[in-house]
Amino acid sequence: MKTLLNCTIALLLFMGTSAQKNVIIKLWPDVVPGETEAKHEPVVTDNTSGDVTRLTDITDPAMIVFPANSDNNNGAGVVVCPGGGYNILAIDKEGYEIALWLNKLGYTAAVLQYRVPKKQDGALQDVQRALRIMRDRAEKWNLNPDKLGVMGFSAGGSLSARASTLYEKQRYPKVDEKDELSCRPDFALLIYPAYLDQGENRNLTPELKVNENTPPTFIFQTADDRLGNSSLVYATALRDAKVPVELHLLPEGGHGYGMRPGNVAGETWPGLAERWLEKTITSLN
């Protein structure tokens, strides 16, 4: 295990010349709600298989903000939720790399370091707080506060679906005026999402309260993904609630590919998502 110092150095090298404009924002200025451990830096695991940097043991949640370039800023923002089974975060493959891609399209991206391992309630609080901070700082980052969405991969897709359906109830004691703002995302993208079919007979996970106010959603998965039923179940619930949903299911590609080359699914979804985002962001005007 390594401390986050090594990960921070790697992040700066990864982002290159753009690193100076990115900022790390701690979500909770004082006590982290429901957290029993003292705040400390995340731990970088020794597992680098697949050329992936993995974080765990997160007790001081944060988001790394990648502001859009001034020459192509479209005014929309995305909170990116990496996956990792609620045990680790694949922070580069499903976080930083996604943020840089969103930047190229004109979006401000915030990569979420939510609480792991096995802290699903805390993770939901973290994404809700991140959305509120984004709205609070919208003017500073030249964002439209009504064009802020979530994007998640695997467990991060689960978290994004939860953020999309569980925003009405206050999930933690209010910290400051930011918590008066809405934590409902205006749109959502779920890439190979997990854990959405944990209801009886592999039906919709009971905690997900899909209704007509659930945000428009883009879903991508493959038929050979062992977790692929999540997409089918969630898309059906959205359709039944008359929520705009776009579902893509490729025959093969597996799970956990991010957007790296060499996998047909990883090479396919970004173009589809780009077009969906452009259409959806325009419809929010």
Give the span between the Cα atoms of 201 and 224, in whole angstroms. 19
What's the alpha-carbon Rg for the chain, to the nearest Å? 17
Instruction: Kindly report whether the global pTM for this prediction surpasses the value 0.85.
Output: yes
- Nearest in space to 111 (alpha carbons), one of 162, 66, 57: 66
Level-2 CATH architecture, domain 2-283: 3-Layer(aba) Sandwich (3.40)
Query: Are the C-beta atoms of residues 221 and 231 closer than 8 Å to each other?
Result: yes
Per-residue pLDDT of the chain (285 residues; tens, 9 = 90+): 555 544 554 454 455 444 448 899 999 999 999 999 999 999 999 999 999 999 999 999 999 999 999 899 999 999 999 999 999 999 999 999 999 999 999 999 999 999 999 999 999 999 999 999 999 999 999 999 999 999 999 999 999 999 999 999 999 999 999 999 999 999 999 999 999 999 999 999 999 999 999 999 999 999 999 999 999 999 999 999 999 999 999 999 999 999 999 999 999 999 999 999 999 999 997
Instruction: List phi, psi (to 5°) of 62.
Output: -150, 170
Domain ranges of the chain: 2-283
